[in-house]
Structure 1
Amino acid sequence: MRNLLKVTLTFSFMLMSIVLFAQGNVSGSVVDSETGTPLPGVNVVVQGTSTGVSTDFDGNYQISVSQGAVLEFSFIGFETQSISVSGDQINVSMIPSADSLDEIVVTGYGTQTRREVTGSIVSIGSESIEKIATGSGVDAIKGQVAGVDITSGGGRPGQNPVVRVRGRRSISASNDPLYVIDGIPQTSSTGDGAIFDINPQDIQSMEILKDAAATAIYGSRGANGVILITTKRGRTGDTKINYSGYYGVSSVTNIPDMMNGEEYAAARREAFRQDANSRYSYAGTIPNDEAVFLGDAAQLESIRTGRSFDYLDAVLNQGYQNSHQISANGGSESTQYNVSVGYFKEDGIIDQMDFERITGRVNLDHRINDTFKFGISMLLSNSVNNWGSSAVMSEALANIPIGKPYADDGSINFFAFNDGIRTNPLSELVPGAYVDERISTRFFAPIYLQVNLAEGLQFTSTFGPDMRFRRQGEFRDRFTNDNRGGPADAEVENKKEFGFTLENLVTYNKDIGPGNLKVTLLQSIQEFSSEFAKAEVQNLPYSSQLWYNIGTAEVKGNLSSGLSEWQLQSYMGRVNYNIDGKYLFQASLRADGSSRLAEGNKWAYFPGVSLGWRVLEDISPDNATFDEFKLRASYGEVGNTAISPYQTQGALARTVYAWNETPAFGYRLNDIPNPDLGWEISKTIDVGFDYSLLEGRISGAFDYYVTNTTDLLLARNLPYTSGYTSVFQNVGATKTNGVEFNVNAAIVESDKFSWDVNFNISGYNEAIVELALKDESGNPLDDAGNNWFIGQPIRVFFDYTKSGIWQLNEADQAAAIQGTDPGQIKLADINGDGKITPADRSVLG
């Protein structure tokens, strides 16, 4: 693999040659023809070449070009203009376009205009991302894209959002989408917060590829959708300094209604009713408080004095969030740059939980001449995440309000009442008592070399190294929920991740016959390795040392380390052809070879095809309601190997046994090898349409899709008597179908005020259609032990149906059917046999 890398890089740089042309400078300004407002960011390109610049903040530009050449001026929302060069000054007034179909959309390994797109792709611009106060760019698009569900992974600052594109397809393998940043598929594990390394203020656009025809170009990693993130680049013109920042507060909006002391005491007294035989019964009498509260002095004192304590109110505070970014961008005709430094800090709603991040970015593009261009997108990020104790919320919800949280001297009572199980959540918030600090440093620096081989023929070689270092240190003092008065313990884990992607891309673009042909060829290599080392100790001599001097601990605990590696090799070809801009066609085929799978099953092929018809180009009535109406249809296949490496191999685990009545360590079988493990394949059909009316003021799209996933990478639980816990196999199938609709409306547009309204709605059904178990006729059977049911979603609640409370006049029924008393929860007799048994359980949702 390393030799191949060296050969490829050598080939890339051997292609260099220098071609120089005698040219003169042409300058001018570009404005909006209706308002006269200067237009920054207008693309000024020499027709037939890739030489070009962009206008600066004041709409000015300067470009080196030969007399008689043609300059093309293009800008989103305006009509493209072509002007022949005759002189050294060209001023242009851009005419607003009647539609927004010239918007450039990143599609993966290339770009297309909105009018050319035949797949289900949604683009979100920087203006929609920057206005959301969040530390994650992915979190910023929540609610903006139909069919994309983004939910919080928890309440902690810096915690990853959970992203699902068109639902779930896999039962055991990952359902996370693939993230591609500046053209490089990510290797860093998103589960460890890698997506939080990207500053949202640095993002220029995000494209979400939803259907299989669009994601098939990413093969084995496109099964769960693809999110393309493009960061901001430089422009031609004087240096422009930008600052953006905000400060805000956060608070809990939906707090559970907890019992106060009086309510809890009344409920406990009712629960302690006893009959003459000392049996707890609804018809019994309430004993005295000494018996009800088991003689606990703290509870009896609270009842006597009317003391009531709300733990939720005590641990929940107001959170804070602030962000600051300063950036500089500009450049000459040949070199453009964008440099930024960002700071983000979020304090959680619970003390000892916060997230702090510093990012630095340098994006540089340099054109040597008309033949060669190179650039880099460098990110350096450092974050510190204080994770906090999970026991704070769990104990705040479980503790009773009539304990004694504080001693008479004002110190915290670790056990607020005589229970032995519940601990005081306030003890977790004592400074230094519970510390879980997670530090992450990341260096990500894709570099590219672009070579114009001939007119319309371009070669690009991209190398993207990605290094991430993580350190997690944990310390738990004596009086924490984990140790309950036992000795303090600490642990420290250091983890290093290194991955790289090397991709060689050839593109060809030429007008042929009645249309335009685009051909894309790709060769890609990706490698990733992750190693960790961890140490755990107990009984530290002093608490303030945390995990920094663990050699002084009295008890040396577990030592562990590990190494995980995987490789992926790929080839891809794609053809786009449109006829007169009316009939659109795209076909692609990708071949992936994955080291995670078994010999003989490592390679798989993923085709994709899509068609589009711009109806109004053929049918254009005089009083057409729509400006644009495009029909789309696509089919594609994608794979999923999102499981840990080495699943095809057997593994041993250390165990303890007796050797002549002496304890000894040995090894036992732990993982069952599966030499036949192969690809999980998803096949998707998508049909839909894009529309625009009222000169582009209203636009949107509709999609209907069906995805069938087969050969699931399924971790089947096994009986303990087998000696194993589970085994990965290719068994089972799922089906997902749904609809999506969105509408975007520009209500008011002016140079001083704008008002946009975006609405989207989507819905989908997911169902398991096949599992490992079948009856004698071959029909699939439920797997109740794993909570998997044919025809039901992948994750369900399987339980008894609660139909009410047994009443006093139903005492006989309660005893006969459920074996309980009035006042208890009534369970529904689903099968009607007159008894509540496990057979009465059902899927509740």
Structure 2
Amino acid sequence: MRIKRMYLLWCMFLVPFVQYAQITVQGMVTDTATQDPLPGVSIIIKGTSQGTATDFDGNYLIEANMGDTLVFSYIGFQPKEVVVSGGTLNVTLDEDTTLLDEVVVIGYGTTTVEDATGSVSSVTTEDFNKGAIVSTDQLLTGKTAGVRITNNGGQPDSAPNIRIRGGSSLTANNNPLIVIDGIPVDNTNPAGVSNPLTLINPNDVESFSILKDASATAIYGSRASNGVIIITTKKGLTGGFKFNFSSNTTVSKVGKKIDMMDGDAFARFIQEYHPTETDLLGVDDPSTDAEDDLSTEAIEGRILYDTDWQDAIYRTAISFDHNFSARGSIFKSVPIRMSLGYTDSQGLVKTSDYERVTSSVKLTPRFLDDHLKVDINAKGIMSKKNAIDEGGALGGAVNMDPTKPIYDNSAGNLFGGYYQNLTYDEEFDVMQLDGQWNPVAILMQRYRPERVKKILANMELDYKMHFLPELRAVANVGIEASKSKIKEVYSDNSIATYNINEDERMGVFNPGVNYRENQDIINRTLESYLAYEKELDGIVSNFDVQAGYSYQNFKNDGNKEEYTYDDATGLRKLQIDEQNPTNRYYTELNLQSFFGRTNINFYDKYLLTLSFRADASSLFTKDNRWGYFPAAALAWKIYEEDFMENIDFVNNLKLRLGWGRTGQQDITGSVGYYPSVPLFEAGGATSQYLSGYALYSAINFNPDLTWEKAETFNVGLDFGFFPNNVLSGSIDAYYRTTDDLLAYVPTAPGQSLGSSFAKNVGSTESKGFEVNFNVRALNQDKITLEFYGNTSYSRAEVTDLQDVSKITAIESGLPTGTGNYLAYHAVGYQPYSAWVYKQLYDDQGNPIHGAFADFNGDGVVDNDDRYYKTLRPNWTFGFGFNFNYGKFDLSSSFRGQIGGQVYNAKRLTSGWVDNALPDNTASLSNVLDFYTGAADFNFVDIQNEVPWSDYFLEDATFLRCENIVLGYRLDDAVPNVSMRFYGALNNPFIITKYDGQDPENFNAIDNNFYPRPRSFTIGVNVDF
């Protein structure tokens, strides 16, 4: 007891001395939003001149008295005052959005919003789309002007088509260059991967930088002709570990189905328009004797089944996404971030499943008194999906007779309990398939696992010379490697494996493995450069210079195994190519470059950027191998001028001018990897003069093939007005020409080794403008409201194709006949325009079947009467808001397009009266619901010119609500734990006049479209 009383007396005596005793205060300063350490933060003891600053890792050390107030200030962040209450004091700073020092990542370095001279947009974690996010591109959709992201449908790994300012080429690659943590990644997807950006965990992404104009992209040269998207991932911090766990569950349903006839409507339709075929309906008595009552009412009443085949293949999809990350330091001073993610995503179509495991490690140690910075990144991904037969399932669900059942459990069923219509073959005295397959059986009796393992890793060394700190040497080495395995297996009694054995004259099955593929991709990157930066007094405030070398090698090595039916054994056997028994394929591409850039700042008002890059590609011959790409940009900080000094409402006003040339060499998707080299290929078993000796044929090549070149002029204005930058944004306008277009074009007979070959064919020009803006409507302690928006206009025109007037757009194939295409790249018109006939209509506005306008008045409707109609939209836009009140947050984003056309291919395949009739089958085919106006009774067939009628083209304008997200933050329930709960609606509605399933389709042909899901997500995010 005495000891306790003595202890209390000593404490009471020492309190006033401890309160004012000087102690050593240490801690770390971090960014509130990202938890990243902040170097160079100024720390002053309030009321004195004593102070210090944080080191590169955000750590500080200062002598202060208990009760002193420390003032923390840092450019770009709001200052904070904290009372000293102990020896350890960690502080977080909030970003000050009124300042212009936000760091923007550019090619081989960084700059600030204030000092950027090119057209560069930055999208950070605060701006990302939220909700059901599977792939990284979904974070960016609709967020910045001039960037149009359209996926191929609602598959969990649906391939995105990303276009920055519409792309610059015709048939060469139009995708932007993607750079992830300094590694320019391959444009070729690994086998089994539709969307390469699903192989990056969206939760690892810190920011996007989008480089649009040539003055910004030219530093990347040959791969930057279509813009650059730089992805930066999150990094660690110095100090104790901080953890994050996030989890969400998503329930998805089909938003809109195709308007097909149900069983009763279909029976009525057949009775009214094809009464002789009523015996093919699924009724209780298919007899067509004259005594039977075949009235519409009687037929409808005898329907045994009313199958909604779309409902049969679709499902309510449930998906899960879990992520865990840790950020801190190891060995006391080595910042590290580690993450692990698991995604299990069900597609809307049955068996369409996608599973992914991701992991990442990022270390950013500093050595030699911070003179040597080391960044080490490693991302590992394993994914598995079951790739469904989309054409068979989606097309079959539309085509299948609704009066037929899904299942058939009768004793004589051959197909594992699934209904399948058969016809009798008199020649073989056997029942055989009639050509129309049960779409549910197609899904359930086929399994095609596609597995991919991938690693993306690099190490960057950044050394600041001890003898000359302004000079840095940077080296970056990286690898992108993937291993893919695909196997396609048919189950027992699979409809797809049912064959007629000609010897035994019987129906047999040959289930098992049908296809295998193994692929290894290894891409290597090595880049190094010197950078010198100097602060000066005088006309030149500061300048920096860079010069370096880049090496990239892309290698793809794989083999395929295809299996065929063996009449002799009734089993599947490996199909052997006698000249290539392993069915191996191998391609390799090498790129090497030299580059340089300088930035000069005059009077802190005028900014000049000059860059140059020389690229060499193995696609071209030695004489044409090198391409040279210069660029220049000038920016004027108008708000820094003396005449702006008294204009208080202007915080930022900067004018930018830019010019540059970029190159394009990626035409491998059309012509392979060796289009300039004379090569020979071996013929197959049918191409042999003597048995076992192959004949070799020359492959078409063009030794004069050279670089496609694009030249861009850009003018831009950045602005920020009123206190706290209530209104801020940018306006850009550009003009671009592309010459020596790379294309695969037809050749005249006898002038080459084939009917077509790769060639530099002509020119295009494009122009447009972009507007981005932010409005901070409210900015108070407990309530904030921010609106953002963007819009862009882009129009291109083909100006020259040399010896031809148009080039076929091979991605525009119509689902009828063979070799029928909708779109062309034609001189004088926008690329990818539909070449169609003008449909004629009667006085009631109904289309007249087979009647088209004779534009030239020669009395004959032929190709001379066709005209071009633009398919892709010129106008795109996006907008949304973020609202915070106390601990609640509400946000929503919208996007859309104005103009453009979409070809309603379901009207072509299912919207004509005679489509219901058997065609080499014994089954009726369902049709669009004519009675509800989904199609027109005037269309009887689709012969002759009908498929190219502009009747099938519809306005593609739409407004889509991307998401609505409501969240609540709970910070007080558990000490040192912050939780945010949220619910999100994704794709809740779309406003459009389009009658088909979905107007958003990159190729503008709506056929067998995998519907985009309408989903609801609930989730939690925990920081501790």
Instruction: Check 1:837–1:91 CA distance in 2 against 1; reply closer, same or farther (3 A cut).
Output: closer
1:425 aligns with 2:439: yes
Secondary structure at 1:440 match in 2: strand
Q: Deviations over 1:743-790 (max 9, x none)?
A: 11233345655433211111211221111326xxxxx67879982311
Aligned-partner Cα distance in 2 for 1:495–1:296: 55
Name the structure 2 match of 1:452: 464
The equivalences for 1:303-342 within 5 A come to 303=300, 305-306=302-303, 307-331=305-329, 334-342=333-341
8 Å contact kept, 2:178–2:230? yes
Task: State the Cα distance separating 1:604 from its structure 2 match.
Answer: 1.1
Name the structure 2 match of 1:5: none
Instruction: Check 1:723–1:424 CA distance in 2 against 1; reply closer, same or farther (3 A cut).
Output: farther
2:548 to 519, 522, 526: 522
Name the structure 1 match of 2:744: 715
Aligned-partner Cα distance in 2 for 1:709–1:298: 67
Amino acid at match of 2:867: S
8 Å contact kept, 2:510–2:571? no
Q: Deviations over 1:375-403 (max 9, x none)?
A: 31111111111111121101111223233
Aligned-partner Cα distance in 1 for 2:689–2:616: 51
8 Å contact kept, 2:771–2:791? yes
Mind listing any 5+ residue stretches in structure 2 that lack a counterpart? 1-22, 43-51, 64-70, 82-86, 289-293, 425-432, 500-508, 810-820, 871-1024
The equivalences for 1:512-551 within 5 A come to 512=536, 513-514=538-539, 515-539=541-565
Secondary structure at 1:445 match in 2: strand
The equivalences for 1:457-472 within 5 A come to 457-472=471-486
Aligned-partner Cα distance in 2 for 1:415–1:663: 43
Amino acid at match of 1:570: S
8 Å contact kept, 2:278–2:286? no
Name the structure 1 match of 2:226: 224
Amino acid at match of 1:131: K
8 Å contact kept, 1:168–1:766? no
Secondary structure at 1:138 match in 2: helix
1:413 aligns with 2:439: no
1:772 aligns with 2:805: no
8 Å contact kept, 2:629–2:663? yes
Name the structure 2 match of 1:43: 38
Name the structure 2 match of 1:604: 627
Question: What TM-score, normalized to structure 1?
Answer: 0.82
Instruction: Check 1:233–1:804 CA distance in 2 against 1; reply closer, same or farther (3 A cut).
Output: same
Aligned-partner Cα distance in 2 for 1:792–1:80: 59
Secondary structure at 1:215 match in 2: helix
Aligned-partner Cα distance in 1 for 2:80–2:710: 40
1:506 aligns with 2:530: yes
Instruction: Check 1:141–1:496 CA distance in 2 against 1; reply closer, same or farther (3 A cut).
Output: same
8 Å contact kept, 1:53–1:236? no
Name the structure 2 match of 1:74: 74
Name the structure 1 match of 2:733: 704
Amino acid at match of 1:401: P
Name the structure 2 match of 1:20: none
8 Å contact kept, 2:28–2:239? no
The equivalences for 1:293-372 within 5 A come to 297=286, 303=300, 305-306=302-303, 307-331=305-329, 334-370=333-369, 371-372=371-372
Instruction: Check 1:479–1:840 CA distance in 2 against 1; reply closer, same or farther (3 A cut).
Output: farther
Q: Deviations over 1:635-684 (max 9, x none)?
A: 11111111222111234344358799987763353531211111011111
8 Å contact kept, 1:710–1:734? yes
8 Å contact kept, 2:281–2:403? no
Aligned-partner Cα distance in 2 for 1:52–1:162: 43
Name the structure 1 match of 2:717: 689
Name the structure 2 match of 1:387: 387
Instruction: Check 1:367–1:26 CA distance in 2 against 1; reply closer, same or farther (3 A cut).
Output: farther
Comparing 413-422 and 596-605, the one that deviates more: 413-422
Secondary structure at 1:421 match in 2: coil
Comparing 532-541 and 625-634, the one that deviates more: 532-541
Q: Deviations over 1:112-161 (max 9, x none)?
A: 11100011111111233373421111121100011111011233211221
Aligned-partner Cα distance in 2 for 1:93–1:138: 30
Instruction: Check 1:73–1:364 CA distance in 2 against 1; reply closer, same or farther (3 A cut).
Output: farther
Secondary structure at 1:826 match in 2: strand
Query: How many residue pairs are counted as aligned between the two chains?
Result: 761
Instruction: Check 1:659–1:638 CA distance in 2 against 1; reply closer, same or farther (3 A cut).
Output: closer
Name the structure 1 match of 2:178: 179
Aligned-partner Cα distance in 2 for 1:385–1:770: 44
Aligned-partner Cα distance in 1 for 2:476–2:844: 72
Secondary structure at 1:413 match in 2: coil
Question: What TM-score, normalized to structure 2?
Answer: 0.68
Q: Deviations over 1:150-191 (max 9, x none)?
A: 011233211221111110321221111111111111136247
Amino acid at match of 1:563: Y
8 Å contact kept, 1:806–1:824? no
1:672 aligns with 2:700: yes
Name the structure 1 match of 2:258: 256
Amino acid at match of 1:387: A
1:52 to 44, 55, 69: 55
1:150 aligns with 2:153: no
Instruction: Check 1:131–1:156 CA distance in 2 against 1; reply closer, same or farther (3 A cut).
Output: closer
Give the % identical residues.
Answer: 29
Aligned-partner Cα distance in 1 for 2:574–2:469: 71
Aligned-partner Cα distance in 1 for 2:709–2:689: 52
Task: State the Cα distance separating 1:369 from its structure 2 match.
Answer: 2.0
Secondary structure at 2:623 match in 1: coil
Aligned-partner Cα distance in 2 for 1:291–1:533: 46
The equivalences for 1:123-162 within 5 A come to 123-129=122-128, 131-162=130-161
Which has the higher relative contact order, 1 or 2, with Cα contacts under 8 A spaced 6 or more apart?
2
Mind listing any 5+ residue stretches in structure 1 that lack a counterpart? 1-23, 56-60, 66-70, 82-87, 273-285, 542-549, 775-779, 811-821
